[in-house]
C-alpha cells in the first residue's frame, strides 16, 4: 500500500478584531456617558436629639430642693441660641445667646467661647431656635460657629437641637 504523504500547509490564523473593537467602543461610550465625577463635599456631623432642655440632678434630688442654688440656670446644661431671620430675604436679622443679644456671627463666636471657657458653666448642648423663614445657608453659618466651640472637657460641641419659631 502506497504511503500517502500528507502535505502540511502552514497558514496564519488571523482573528477578526473589528467585532471586538466595536464592542469595546460601545462599552467605552457607555462609561463615558455615565461618568459623573462625584463633587467634593464636606459635612458637619451632629447628634441631633429631639429638642428638650436637660437638667442635671443629683441622686434622689427633686426640683427646687437645692436651696443653695440661687442661679436659675445652674443645673440646666442646655444653652439656647435664638436666630431671628428677615421674613422676606431669610437672612439673619438678630442673634441672641440666652437673653443677651449679640450683634453678629463674629460676636456670637466670641460670646460662646466665653461661655464655654468658664468651667462653672455646665452647658454641653445647644438648642438653636430658628425663624421658620431662615435660609439654610444662614443657619449653617450659625451651626458652623457652634461646632467650632470646645467644651470644658476638651471635646467639640456636637449636640445641637433645632426649634422652629414662627417669624413675625
Partner 1 sequence: MAGRLSQEVKSEPNLTPILDMVFQLITFFMLVINFKSAEMDLSLKLPVVGSARPVETHGQRGLLVLNIDHMGNLKNYGGVVQNVELYIAREAYASRLAAHIESDDKEAAQDLPTTIVIRADQATPFKMLNRVIKACQDNGFRKFALKAVNKEA
Per CB under 8 A, residues contacting partner 1 are 17-18, 20-21, 24-25, 27-28, 31-32, 34-50, 85, 90, 130-137, 139-141, 143-144, 147-148, 162, 164
**For partner 1, the closer CB: 25 or 98:** 25
What is the nearest approach in angstroms of partner 1 to the Cβ of residue 163? 8
Residue 24: exposure state from Cβ atoms within 10 A (0-12, 13-18, ≥19) = exposed
**Burial state string for 42-62 with b = 16 or more CB within 10 A and e = fewer than 16:** eeeeeeeeebeebeeeeeeee
Nearer Cβ to partner 1, position 114 or 132?
Answer: 132
List the grid coordinates of 108.
456670637
Spatial CB neighbours of 71, under 8 Å, sequence gap ≥ 6: none
Least separation in angstroms between CB 42 and partner 1:
3
Q: Phi, psi at residue 96, to the nearest 5°?
A: -130, 140
Of the pair 90, 111, the CB lying nearest partner 1 is at 90
Taking the complex as a whole, the smallest distance from the CB of residue 119 to partner 1 amounts, in Å, to 24
Choose between 24 and 61: whose C-beta lies nearer to partner 1: 24
Amino acid at each position: 500500500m502506497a504511503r500517502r504523504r500528507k502535505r502540511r500547509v502552514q497558514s496564519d490564523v488571523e482573528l477578526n478584531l473589528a467585532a471586538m473593537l466595536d464592542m469595546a467602543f460601545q462599552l467605552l461610550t457607555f462609561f463615558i456617558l455615565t461618568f459623573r465625577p462625584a463633587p467634593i463635599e464636606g459635612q458637619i456631623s451632629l447628634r441631633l436629639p429631639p429638642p428638650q432642655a436637660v437638667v442635671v440632678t443629683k441622686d434622689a434630688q427633686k426640683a427646687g430642693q437645692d436651696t443653695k442654688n440661687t442661679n436659675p440656670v445652674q443645673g440646666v446644661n442646655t444653652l439656647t441660641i435664638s436666630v431671628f431671620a428677615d421674613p422676606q430675604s431669610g437672612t439673619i436679622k438678630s442673634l441672641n445667646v440666652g437673653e443677651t443679644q449679640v450683634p453678629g456671627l463674629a460676636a456670637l463666636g466670641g460670646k460662646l467661647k466665653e461661655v464655654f471657657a468658664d468651667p462653672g458653666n455646665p452647658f454641653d448642648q445647644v438648642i438653636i431656635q430658628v425663624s421658620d423663614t431662615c435660609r439654610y445657608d444662614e443657619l449653617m453659618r450659625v451651626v458652623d460657629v457652634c461646632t467650632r466651640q470646645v467644651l470644658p472637657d476638651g471635646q467639640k460641641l456636637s449636640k445641637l437641637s433645632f426649634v422652629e419659631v414662627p417669624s413675625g
